[in-house]
Amino acid sequence: MDLCCGYGAFGVYAASVADCDVWLSDDDCLATACAKRSLRASGVVGTVVTADCVEDSAIPRSVDRILCNPPTHAGTGVLSELFAGARAVLAPNGRLTVVHHRELDLREHLTGFDGTEINHTGSDHVVLNATL
């Protein structure tokens, strides 16, 4: 699942390299319209849903992997809700991969996960994994 998919970069990539069902979700209609076009233009298959976090009934209740570039500008309340929703739909042993600006500390939002580890640190961004 590409959560907060925007135009769908993570979801398109996942659909092109993995043999799995791919879901893309964003609460913005323009973003999901762009994500649908990105899938078509890339020739890959995925399901796009316009939903607030994971609140749409069309979204699977159990996913193995979530990729997310969260809307960190939206504030801590949105981030708390977002990561709680991610925990709710991750399967046991599932993994959330998040990319965010390196100056931002997401630890308080990831306390509900069993473990977190930094996968990569770049000059501006960090990629981390959180597991259940």
DSSP string spanning 97-120?
EEEEETT---GGGGTTSSEEEEEE
d(C-alpha 86, C-alpha 11), whole Å:
16
pLDDT at 72: 86
pLDDT at 122: 94
Q: Which residues of the chain have pLDDT under 70?
A: none
Longest CA pairwise span in the chain (Å): 39
| CATH (residue range 2-131) | 3.40.50.150
pLDDT at 44: 97
Burial 88-105 (b: 16+ CB within 10 A, else e): ebbeeebbbbbbbeeeee
- Whole-model pTM? 0.92
Q: Is the dihedral of CA 101, 127, 12, 50 positive or negative?
A: negative
pLDDT at 74: 86
Q: Domain limits of the chain?
A: 2-131
pLDDT at 61: 83
pLDDT at 75: 83
d(C-alpha 96, C-alpha 40), whole Å:
25
DSSP state of 13: H
pLDDT at 35: 98
pLDDT at 28: 94
